[in-house]
Structure 1
Amino acid sequence: MDLGAVRTFVAVAEAGQFQKAAADLSITQQAVSKRVAALERELGVRLFTRVPRGAELTIDGRAFLPHARELLRVAERAVTSVRAGRRPLRVDVINSRGAASGLMRGFHRAYPEVDLDVLMLVEIETAVAAVRSGAIDASFRAVAMPGRPLPEDLESVRVVDEPLQLLTGPAHALADVRSVSVAQLAGHRIWMPGLTPGTEWAAYYDDLVAEFGLTVEATGPNFGSDALLDTIADTPGLATFMGEHTRLIWPAGHGLRRIPVTDPAPVYPHSLIWRRDNPHPALATLRAHLAAATAGHDAAGTWRPDWVAPH
């Protein structure tokens, strides 16, 4: 359907006159008449009745008007969705309570005028494909996975190294320590359901296990964080890892403990990836904000997998 004719129809309906609509659209009255006539031929109905004071909508015209307005709104949204600077900045944060989500909340506080569309994609392949296609503008990932170089049309930068913490219930053998070394974790069962093979976090924990001889179990279905916290609270022999910046809430009766891991402190390397030719102006603002807001990469006394490039 010719959107120009639809726009002209709406203008006449709102003005009540062909002449006034022509002035509003900055075209001739003859052009208005031709567009309306063409739309009427396409629809097979009369849209207006000529009256002494101008033009009145017919029954069919009144029925078509709300749909015509919606057509114009949809067209505007379609244009806005691909017009850099007018559409929201689309960023994948993986989950709602992790470090990446916290970084984006900080960005929003610093730049409330930037429209954001925050998504949560699970698989790295999905996120990379979405960045490459332009469906999203950026994604937070530990992208330097072994055997999977970043595509040449993408760029990445490490934005924060997040220390791991041990999460235990109140009856766990390590519940009352202020910190725990990696060596002290040997022999303890660390339960992490949801470590899907092929994901960047599974690759990270595979290397952590191989380096320090830990026991990380990914058995059982992943019923979400609430079920995980319930199980850790009720099972003295189980613990789990979580990021220092992860924000979780649990009932006070759980008595859970968050314990820093040291000597060395394992850190999870969060990176931002984006397409090199992405023109969205807010993307540059986000990158500058993250560069200023994060620091401490490759600090002494920390550990990261060998496949994570030095900052």
Structure 2
Amino acid sequence: MAERPLDLDAVRAFLHIAELGSFTRAAEATRTTQAAVSLKLKRLEERLGCRLIERTPRSVELSARGAAFLDHARELLAAHDRAISAVTTARRRMTIGISDHVAGPELPALIARMNAQDPELVIEIRIGSSGPLLNSYDRRELDSVIVRLQSGRSDGELLVDEPFGWFAGPGWQHRPDEPLPLATLAEPCGVRVMAGRLLDAAGIPWTEIFVGGGVTAVAAAVMAGMGVSALAPRMLPFGAVEVGERLRLPLLPRLPVLLHSRVRDDRSRAALAALAAAFRNAARG
């Protein structure tokens, strides 16, 4: 008698747990509940006759059998997706806008997570400032956007509240008799506006010393010792120093990151949910 085939949904749940390191984030990626993910894993483990995941109060890790099964699980789902695509004539496309202050060094991993979820999805990503990206979304030029919270808007799904700080390069010193040199993104960057208003309200003189076309350029200016910038810690190269307390600069608030989306088909929503879960995982460290 032939053995029962593996449940592909259970295999996919196992992959999400293994790659995201969390039952909660696996549930987010599959748009289901933690209990449903746990049940799928339990059934898969019962079918295979071994434990795949070792769960402790503080961590989720692969067992030896789970590590051995991981690549085979990936190959199984990839073969399934290839079989589906062989009889599918049209490739779906999703256009996503991501704020430059949100798209950090983990962006390649986020794109890879979406591709792993749906290899047949054509992904188009545009990087820009939150305001213009939201305008493009409202004009239906983008299917989804991941941006900072904009005043006057209450829509969107909260992904994470991200901390911000005042950062400078190692060894940089401010001359007290000069305005604070600030490295910023070009207008209409909302973080730039926020930083300027907070400094003005605190009575701290400042001047723009560098204006970059992207966060990568601003971070490079910071590390080159040109001045200070208001940035999320995950956006900075190793070695950047938080100088807000030392210079008595105003406290920067945590800034929400939100997902706005109008995609409706199940496969596109699943790919977007995988992206959102991977982003939460990266942003929370």
Return the TM-score normalized by structure 1. 0.45
Look at both structures and tell me which one has the larger radius of gyration over its CA atoms. 1
Greater helix fraction, Structure 1 or Structure 2? 2
